[in-house]
Each structure stands twice: as C-alpha cells, then as structure tokens.
Structure 1
C-alpha cells in the first residue's frame, strides 16, 4: 500500500509533464487514468458511510495539474473524478455532482495561484502562504461546503445533516494540499542544488529516522484520559532540522513521511490518533499534520530566503571585491567616532602594503601618508563634504610603502544617523590610483596646447569643411589672411568667399576628392577679403573623412598675393628688357650694316687690288658679327645663338661675297644643335669667317673646284669641337713668320675662348678648334 501510494504521488506528475508531445486525446486518457487512480486511493481511506478521510490527496494533485498544464485538461479532471466516484458511490447523480464540485475546486485553486503569481519552487514565505491560503483554505473550503451538502442530500439522505462534516471535509482537503502539492511542486521545479555524498547520506538517515520515530509514536496506545497528547511533538524537532538543514526539500520530505505514517496508523484503527469517533480521529490527525506542515514549510521557506539573501550578499561582495581589485580600487569604511578604518579591495596595488600591514592604518596614519602639500586641502574637502552633505571627491598624492607618491582619486559618501545629527558617523568610499590617467591627461593637454599654439601662430590658415563645403572650423590665423574672424565664417559655405570664376572648377575638384580618402588637391585661387578685395591664396585640400578625429576636408592655405604681384612685375620687367635688348641687337646690326655699306663704298672708289681685298676682309668680319645680332634679334632666346642656322647663313654670305671665284667651290655644313652665349658666339663666328675666307681665297687657285666642310659638335664634357677643312692645295710648306693676319686673328680668338687649335695633315687643310661652352655647362 505504501509503495503504491508513494509511486503514484511522486511519479504521476512526472509522467504528466513528459507527455507534452503526446496527442491531446491520448493526454486526456492518461490524465484521466492517473486522477481516477489517486481518487481511488483517497476513497479507500474514507470512513465507511461518511465519505470523509484524514487526507484527501486528489485536491493537491488536481489543483497543481491545472496550475501547470492549464484548463485544457479539465475534461480529464472531471472524467477521472467521475469514474472514481461512480465506482465508490451508489448514486450516479451524486457521483457526477461531486465530480463537478471537485473540478470546480481545482479550477478555483489553480486560478487563485495564477493570479497571485505563485512560484512552484516555494523559495519564499509568501509562496508558502499563497499555497496554504489560496489553494488550501479558500478553494477547498468551497469544495467542502458543496461536497458535504451533496453527500448529505444524495448519498445519505436518511441521516440528519451534520455541520461538523463540512469542517472535517475541508480539513481533509486542506491536508491533501499541504502534504501532496509541495511534493509535486518539487518534482516540477528545476533542481539547482549540488549535494555531495555526505549530504545525501545525511538526508537519507534523517528521513529514515523520521519514518521510524513517527511509526513508533503513531502506533502507540490510543488516546485515553490518562494519556498526554503532547508526545507527538517529539516529531517536530526532526521536521525543523530537516527544514533548516535541507530547506524546502527537507521540509516536504519530512512532512510527507510523518503524515503518511499518521494517516496509515489511523487507517488501521489503532495508534495514537485512533479515537472513539471518526470525527475526533480526523480532527486529531489533520490538526497535527496541518501544524507540522505549516511549521516545516514556513521554516524551510524562511531558511531558503535567508540562504538566498546570504548567497546574494556573498555574490555581491565577491563581485564587488573582483571589481575593486580588477579596476585597481581600494575600498574603505571609516568609523569617524573611533578613527579606525576597514580596508579592502586593491590594497597592494594602490599602496604596495600587504592587506595585513595596511589593516592597522587609521585616519591619523592615513593623513600622514598624504603629501604634505595636499593635507590641508584634503581635510578641508572632507569637512566641507560632511557639512554640506555632498559626495566626497578629491585628488591628492599618497605615499606608498616604497616612499614614492601616486596620484589618488578619493570618492566617498558620508552616512548620517536618522536623528538629524549634523555630523556623520561613517564614511564609505574608494581610492583609485590615477597616476597613469593624470599622466595621459597632462600629456594630452600639453599636446593640445602645443597644437593650439601651432595653429594660432601658423602663418597658414587652416579650414575644415564638410562634404557640402560648409565651414566647420577656422584657425585664428585665417583672419590675418582674409580679414574674417572664425565666428563670421563658421556655418558659411566656402563658395561664398571663393572667386565666382573659380567656383565651378573647385566644385568639380571637391566632388572627386570626396571619394578619394587621404588624397590631396592643390588649392590655388582667390578668396574675397572682408574689405572686398581679392586675395590670392595657395595651399592644399586633403580628404580626411576616414579619420574619426577630423571627419572633414582640411584646407591649408597662405596669402600669395605679394608673390603673384611680384611675379607679374617681374614678368612685365622681363618683357620690357627683352624688347629693349632686341632693339639693341637690331640697332647694333643696323650700325654694323652701315659700317659694311661704308666699306663697300670705300672699295668702289679704290683701284688698288690689295687695299680692296683688305677692306673686303674687314667688311666680311663686320658682317659675321652683325649676323649674330640679327639672329638674336629674331630669336626668342636672347641669351644664346643657335649656331647651326648661323653657320649656314654665314657661309652662304661669304660664298656670295667672293663672287665668281667661289662658284666652283661647294660648302658643306655639318652642325648639330649647338647653343653658344654671346661671349663665345662672336669670337667663334669670327674664327669661322677667317677660316672659310682663307679657304676660298687660297685653297682653290685659278677656278679650281673643291669642297669646304664646316662641322661643329657639342661634346659630353661641355666642350665644343669646331672643324674647318677643305680639299684644296693645302697650306704652303714655308709660311711667313708669324703667319698671315687671318691666322693671327684665329689664334687670338682661340685664346680668348680658352681653347686649343690644331692643324691636321692630309690633302687640303684641316683646322680643329676645341673650346669650353659655358652656356652648355649652365644648362
């Protein structure tokens, strides 16, 4: 009997809770069978002809099932109770009505538990009270009233109605709720405890002791006038120990074991609760079980609350300890009356003292560790915070164990007594080492100050703009450039000060620059000055939108108005000088042309052959110099002469000058691009004039044909090689002392050029001259 009852009571809810995936019709069948079985056990314990039992276990089962599973199992509750009543009661209407009453009782109990936010874990005294009052007292009282009336009218109509039966019925249902429902709640609630073998063994021994002792007590002599009933209270210490030691599990288990023995002893008709009447027997056992259950469950819930609170405090303390240690904070509790301080947290990290060493530090010793320059300020801030009842927040330097000082941030809260005392009695706070933080802040401030000064004192203006071109920052130095203060420019568009003719160009540039991070564009244009004038500016615009600290276009610009104006003046001056120089070359060329014409006139009036020849040679020399000035006048480069064109014009002029004598002579010019300055061009031109004239005059006598070759080449060593050769008769073996005038002129001009002259062997004459080209070296 005991094994069957225990298995039914403990395993039925497990089975019901494991059938959530089973189809609904099959669920109803399973619940119906389970409820009918538990009802059958309850009816088997009823006193014959009364329908009353010491404990009505179906109440505890059906209320909890409806609370957990919901209203959809009401048909199973109704069917299960109806089947049980139909089996045990002779009246079908009575059985059906009692089944309806039992179902309504369960529905009412489940409804009240849901409305009161009942927790099946029973971890608080409030939940225990809700179970006893809502589902135990209220719902079962309604069921007892209706059930007693129906039983009296339909089951035993011949017997007079006994109002006492309502009380007995109600107490039986209430005991069923107190004994069975907590046990089922434990099976449904998640298990969070962790018991070792020793604790399991202790629990098992305690339950065995409760079972044995309760069996001995309940199976003793019946209550008589000479028997003291208080012997049953020797079981209370076991229930109390189980409740305090093992919480709600211990209380539920102890109450279940002791109540089971009490009910079974009464069912045998003997024992401590076997009285002369069934009413007395039910009252005795139910009162005992109610007192035991209420006491044990209340103590257990209080123990659970205390353990939960203690665990919460321990967890909070552990979290606070970990937080303070990990964040480097020292925690203190200062008793103002005694001057003692309790220290905790990161004591070693802040002070380099061990926790045991620092434990003896009181307020006086703490003050001695504060830097002498900071002590008076720290005391003043503490007194002011206590006087004004504000949070204490101060920074000072604290001497550590090794003698070094660290920057400390001290934050605390004063506690005051409720009697309105002006002075606090405790100070709770923390000390944190902020040396590194202060160092970083100090360096950051220095860096900010350095960059602020650089920006303010910079000759360049600095401007930040968003993607629309709106100005979001302007350095003070920009005012010196464009006249506007930063406040006047903030929030305006860059295009409001940009020259209208350049706005379209920079709109396009900014558009391209928007998608090119870290790229820069050259900035060159005109900004409108506050005075209305236009200022030429030059600089760079960089896209720094991918830099979170900037997130803007950054423009660095400077005033180049003076430079632009100077360049314009210089350009105009150069143009004027170029015009002047060309005019000089033109006038020199004209003057030389006049000299040449005069020489022509002179030769026309002379008949002496030698004199005419000498005048013509002088004329040709003048022409060679005039030709240089003519080329320079026509050239864009007034500093150098392109000798390729010059030599061709000079040789052609010489060939025309010699007339028929030079008709059979071919002059070949082999000259690359050679540029000579004025200092080299005039002597070199005279040298070519003398050498070609000599060749035309002496190399081809009596109309002999031949070739004169003039070559000029720029060597890599900034040296020019000039070569004049002919295929004529060559130089005579015996030359007059000192040579002819032409050769003396060539040597003199070569020395003027700092060059060398060489006459090579072979048929005809080969004269090679090398001289440095200063124009080429400069280029």
Structure 2
C-alpha cells in the first residue's frame, strides 16, 4: 500500500477536532526532537479488517507514521525518512502499549533494517479522553554525549511537554503566531519558573540578551528586573497561550517565542525561544531597497518608452506615404507594449506577477490597437506558468504583438477588412519542466500553400525566439486557421 493511501486511512479515522489537534502536534515535532536529542515519530493507529489470509476479522493494530522529525542537537537513529510508513504493533510494541493504556511507557525497539536496538519512549496523544495517536522518542542505546546542565534542562523540558501531551493540553489550542524567522531550540532557550524568574538560559540566549543591552547574569531574576519586559511574555502568563514578539533595541532585532508550561491547569513555567535576527533584518531591508529601486527603474523606463511612442505617433502625422505611416505605427505599438510590461513590473510585487496576467493585459491592448472598434475579433488567453524573469516577459510582449498582428493581417484580411463574426485568436501558454510553451491560433483563412514567406514581423519573432530566448518556432496551417508554436528554455531560478 502506498504512503498516500496509508496516510489517508490513518487520518480518515480521526474526527475534525482530532485532525486539527494532530496537525498542531505535527507542527511542533521539530521542537520536541531538538529538546529531546532524539528522533520524534507520530504514529496514528489504523485497524485492519482483514485477517492474515485476507479474511475478515483480523483486527491487528497497525500504525502509520504521520510525522518524522530529526534533531539538530544530536545524531539521528533513522537515516531514512519514515513518513507515511506503516508499522505493526509487533514492530513498535511500546506504541501499542501506549495506545491501549493511555499512559507513557519506556523501553526499546529493534530496527531490523539496521540490526540494532534503540531506546524508546512512547507518549499517548490524548484528546477528550481518547488516545488519537502515539508520539515516540527514539534515540541510540549507547551515546558518547556527555550530559551537562544544558542536556538535563532540555530533557526535563521534553518530559514536561510530554506530560502535557498525555494530558491533552499540548499542542496548544492556538498557535504562537506567524513569524518569517521563527526561533528554534539551537538559537537560544530561556527557561522561566512559575514566578517568571530565569531558571536557566543557554549561551546563545545570553548573547541575544546582550545584543538588547541586558548585561550580567539574569538567572534568579525576572526579565523585567533586568530591563526587558516583552509583551508576549505578559500575554502568555495571563492567558496560558503561546505568543511571539520581535524586539528591536540598540540596532539589534531579537524574536522571542513564549510557550507556557502547564501542569494540572496551573502555569508552572515558561519556555522562551530566542533568536538574534539582526543580520536577517538587514538583508530584508536591503531587499526592500533593491525592490524599490527596481520598481523605480521600471517606472522611468515605462515613461521614457511612452515618450518615444508619442514622438513616433507625432512624426507619422507629417508623413504622406502610407507605408511610412504604417511602419511608424507598428514601431509605436511595439514600444507601447514594452512600456506596458514595464508598467506592470513597476507595481508592488510586479516581479512576482504571473506571466498569464501580463498576457491578459497585453491581449486587451492588442485588441484595441490591431482591430477596428467594431470588429468582432476575440482574443482569448488560457493556461498558466507563474512569474517569469522580466527580460523574458518583455521579449514575449514583442513576440505576441507580432504573432497576433500576423493573425489579424493574414488570417482575417487586416484591420480594414470586413471581419466575420466568430473570428477568434487563442493564446495558450504553459510550462513543462523548465520549458516555456506558447501557441497563437486563429480560425482565419490559413496560410497559402508553398514555402512560407516571412516578412518583418515573423523575421523579428524568429530572431527573438531563437537568439534571445534560445527557443524554437513552428508554423502549422490549415484551411480552418493557423497555429504558431514556440518553445523556449526558462532560466534556472535560485531556491
């Protein structure tokens, strides 16, 4: 059975509140793995209805691993990802015991794939007097790690959170709040007692406090007594719910996440995760400045292009020859389309604008500029590819302009011709792997038989597609219309 099917069967046996509780627990398994120096597995039970030979009534308890987190504070015992794996009660007897009794159990587990035993702690995940899953802490039977104050404190924290899991009060009913740079255990830990006095803090946490101007050892004192009064801590103490706050002081930024420690409905302490994000905020500000500068460049380029387009239109009024007028009109239209792309890129989040949105905007401009006001030409856009680099979008604006203009001129007889109802141009865009795929199809009269003669427009399109985009261009014509297809590789993006 596939991993997806295993997960579907396991989670399908949970009610909506139980699924939500499970999701919140899964979101915190990285924290639990870090403070316990062990792999954390979440096992959700499923009940087989088939016996060993496929008959009914087997009833053997099995589990599906719905979460697997490895610690960044220690070595892992599972090099392979166990997510989605189905395991039996025989393979994880402590999980079966925890599911049956609803209480935590210590012991071991044999890993046949590694031919060794590991230590294990099974914690029942209880909610409303029902065990909906089992959390397993698995770690090496023998370790070279020397346990000191930090290790003892961390494991004590895990024990307290494990008790809260068994009591059904962890994970919390609400999240700690979103943050773009959330802290992890390795970034810094401060443990407060029931009176919010500092019981222990890691060296990284001490360094973060020093960045905020807190000098000296705060152990045994409240944070307020050493000059730090985070609002998140006050809200956590008053409501017994997790809170997150970013503090800026002395040119430094530190994010603090406060998690209440509860036993028998009483607040017994607060776990505070801290992270110095000063450098990250500096990079964020640089990115904001860069994006603002790029937007301003696109805005100025757009204005300059519109000025050039206006000058060309003005110049065409002084010409008498129709060919010269048409040449200037085509040049002005191309420039206006490039200006339209830069206008989109100059807007907030313009660089992340999906290409299909740009094409939809360009199609409206093309419809207005290429066909007479009362001409029944429809330009439709289908497909999606997401954001593309600005240089690709500006090149594609020119390409689409030429292809749509060719469809109007050669498929429907030009803007001055009597265009029949139902005349349609369809622009299809798509992405396959790292390749851009675009086609322009009209339902006009089609191309004449024989070798295709490329005018300035198609020559320009082929040059841009093959030289600038490194792609290919293909024509297909029939009595019912013409299709031009192009493919081009997309540049690799940074993750």
Quote the offset at 1:750 in angstroms. Answer: 1.7
2:435 and 2:488 in contact (8 A); partners too: yes
Identify if the C-alpha distance between structure 1 residues 734 and 615 changes in structure 2 by more than 3 Å, giving closer, same or farther. Answer: farther
Identify if the C-alpha distance between structure 1 residues 773 and 710 changes in structure 2 by more than 3 Å, giving closer, same or farther. Answer: farther
Identify if the C-alpha distance between structure 1 residues 648 and 459 changes in structure 2 by more than 3 Å, giving closer, same or farther. Answer: closer
Identify if the C-alpha distance between structure 1 residues 731 and 474 changes in structure 2 by more than 3 Å, giving closer, same or farther. Answer: closer
Task: Say whether residues 1:673 and 2:400 are aligned partners.
Answer: no
Mapped partners of 1:527, 1:598: distance in 2: 52
Identify if the C-alpha distance between structure 1 residues 663 and 692 changes in structure 2 by more than 3 Å, giving closer, same or farther. Answer: farther
Mapped partners of 2:355, 2:252: distance in 1: 48
Q: Which runs of 5+ in 2 are unaligned?
A: 1-145, 155-184
Which of residues 385, 398, 405 in structure 2 aligns to 1:693? 405
Q: Which has the larger radius of gyration?
A: 1
Task: Say whether residues 1:606 and 2:337 are aligned partners.
Answer: no
Mapped partners of 2:431, 2:231: distance in 1: 51
Mapped partners of 2:253, 2:392: distance in 1: 46
After superposition, where does 1:289-304 map in structure 2 within 5 Å?
A: none
Identify if the C-alpha distance between structure 1 residues 617 and 461 changes in structure 2 by more than 3 Å, giving closer, same or farther. Answer: closer
2:430 and 2:437 in contact (8 A); partners too: yes
- The aligned residue for residue 461 of structure 2 is 746
Identify if the C-alpha distance between structure 1 residues 573 and 668 changes in structure 2 by more than 3 Å, giving closer, same or farther. Answer: same
Which of residues 571, 575, 588 in structure 1 aligns to 2:288? 575
1:750 and 1:757 in contact (8 A); partners too: yes
2:367 and 2:377 in contact (8 A); partners too: no
Which of residues 737, 741, 755 in structure 1 aligns to 2:471? 755
- The aligned residue for residue 536 of structure 1 is 254
1:476 and 1:485 in contact (8 A); partners too: no
- The aligned residue for residue 197 of structure 2 is 470
- The aligned residue for residue 225 of structure 2 is 496
After superposition, where does 1:504-653 map in structure 2 within 5 Å?
A: 504-508=234-238, 511=240, 524=245, 526=247, 536=254, 538=256, 543=261, 553=269, 555=271, 557-558=273-274, 560=276, 563-564=277-278, 566-634=279-347, 636-653=348-365
Identify if the C-alpha distance between structure 1 residues 475 and 527 changes in structure 2 by more than 3 Å, giving closer, same or farther. Answer: farther
Mapped partners of 2:289, 2:150: distance in 1: 49
After superposition, where does 1:242-281 map in structure 2 within 5 Å?
A: none
The size of the alignment, in residue pairs, is 308
Identify if the C-alpha distance between structure 1 residues 663 and 647 changes in structure 2 by more than 3 Å, giving closer, same or farther. Answer: farther
Quote the offset at 1:715 in angstroms. Answer: 3.5
- The aligned residue for residue 341 of structure 1 is none
Q: Which runs of 5+ in 1 are unaligned?
A: 1-445, 513-520
- The aligned residue for residue 731 of structure 1 is 447
Identify if the C-alpha distance between structure 1 residues 479 and 658 changes in structure 2 by more than 3 Å, giving closer, same or farther. Answer: closer
When you count helix as a share of all residues, which structure comes out higher? 1
- The aligned residue for residue 98 of structure 1 is none
2:444 and 2:482 in contact (8 A); partners too: yes
Quote the offset at 1:666 in angstroms. Answer: 1.0
Quote the offset at 1:570 in angstroms. Answer: 3.3
- The aligned residue for residue 771 of structure 1 is 488
Please give the per-residue CA displacement for 1:421-476, whole angstroms capped at 9, x wherever unaligned.
xxxxxxxxxxxxxxxxxxxxxxxxx7559969x9xxx9976655432323445678
- The aligned residue for residue 425 of structure 2 is 709
Please give the per-residue CA displacement for 1:535-591, whole angstroms capped at 9, x wherever unaligned.
735467574979xxxx9747465561xx23x34433333333333222211111111
* SS, match of residue 769 in structure 1: strand
Mapped partners of 1:665, 1:646: distance in 2: 23
Mapped partners of 2:247, 2:326: distance in 1: 68
Please give the per-residue CA displacement for 1:730-755, whole angstroms capped at 9, x wherever unaligned.
22224576x21111111112213232
Identify if the C-alpha distance between structure 1 residues 668 and 573 changes in structure 2 by more than 3 Å, giving closer, same or farther. Answer: same
- The aligned residue for residue 325 of structure 1 is none
* SS, match of residue 754 in structure 1: coil
Identify if the C-alpha distance between structure 1 residues 768 and 500 changes in structure 2 by more than 3 Å, giving closer, same or farther. Answer: closer
* SS, match of residue 617 in structure 1: helix
Identify if the C-alpha distance between structure 1 residues 475 and 669 changes in structure 2 by more than 3 Å, giving closer, same or farther. Answer: closer
Mapped partners of 1:704, 1:525: distance in 2: 63
Quote the offset at 1:697 in angstroms. Answer: 2.0
After superposition, where does 1:141-220 map in structure 2 within 5 Å?
A: none
1:502 and 1:525 in contact (8 A); partners too: no
Please give the per-residue CA displacement for 1:594-629, whole angstroms capped at 9, x wherever unaligned.
111111122111111222222212112111211101
Mapped partners of 1:650, 1:535: distance in 2: 44
Mapped partners of 2:458, 2:187: distance in 1: 66
Indicate the RMSD between aligned Cα atoms, in angstroms.
4.1
Identify if the C-alpha distance between structure 1 residues 590 and 555 changes in structure 2 by more than 3 Å, giving closer, same or farther. Answer: same
Identify if the C-alpha distance between structure 1 residues 778 and 672 changes in structure 2 by more than 3 Å, giving closer, same or farther. Answer: farther
Please give the per-residue CA displacement for 1:151-201, whole angstroms capped at 9, x wherever unaligned.
xxxxxxxxxxxxxxxxxxxxxxxxxxxxxxxxxxxxxxxxxxxxxxxxxxx
1:692 and 1:708 in contact (8 A); partners too: no
1:642 and 1:674 in contact (8 A); partners too: yes
TM-score normalised by the chain length of structure 2: 0.52
Identify if the C-alpha distance between structure 1 residues 577 and 477 changes in structure 2 by more than 3 Å, giving closer, same or farther. Answer: closer
Mapped partners of 1:734, 1:717: distance in 2: 35
Identify if the C-alpha distance between structure 1 residues 504 and 700 changes in structure 2 by more than 3 Å, giving closer, same or farther. Answer: same
- The aligned residue for residue 109 of structure 1 is none
Quote the offset at 1:688 in angstroms. Answer: 0.9
2:246 and 2:254 in contact (8 A); partners too: yes
